[in-house]
Structure 1
Amino acid sequence: MLDHVGIPVSDYARSLAFYTQALAPLGIGLIMEVPQEEIAGAKAAGFGHQGKPYFWFGDDGAPGQHTHVAFAVDSRAKVDAFHAAALAAGGRDNGAPGLRPHYHPDYYGAFVLDPDGHNVEAVCHLPDASA
């Protein structure tokens, strides 16, 4: 199942204003912004509803930037397995499996770049089952 998608934008403020207005009739609003200090030097905005952001954009829209897609899984072990399998299939590491508490305390994800440079993630939102 898709968990969220993200796109690069060339003008963060313009895109923030656009999506705030355009998505409001759908009941979709700004859930969170992540400062550039938290994610590789680019600000990001997450839109969604009921506290769950599922549409993201960031101000990393220079030519050659790529799309981000995240798949939701039900265990941290599956995140680990995804990362290992993607690397074995020729993907490039873009973030080893681990917690990303700047999203929420139980956000456990791993990131790889596919052969075309797209950022692909597996994420588990559940607490650690072994704890």
Structure 2
Amino acid sequence: MSEDSAFAADLIRGHTDTIVLGVLRRGDSYGFEIYKAIREATGGDYEIKEATLYATYRRLERDGLAESYWGDETQGGRRKYYRITDAGRAVYTSNVAAWVATRRIIDSLLTPGETPRKAAEQ
């Protein structure tokens, strides 16, 4: 992993809760399904480690942002599903707004004198 990708991974890692909440906004999901959704959304460029994801699930539940329940599978092992709560939706919305504002500021600082749109086009 290059320094650039390590830096990007650190930036993304700080938003793991919001990323998982974003997946859960689309519907209830079990652990590995969430992992796959994140990997597929990035075209395989980013994967969250399993240990990190399960720590995230526990934290989201503890904070009342998600809740879990056991699936009713008839074949294979039972799966633990997660669903977003109303509090989780509110936190997700707030975190995305904060990210958009932060991204706008960083874009302005990295490309002084240019609008973020012009910088993104280059």
After TM superposition, is the score higher than 0.5? no
Which protein is bigger by CA-based radius of gyration? 2
Q: Which of the two has greater strand per residue?
A: 1
Higher helix share: 2
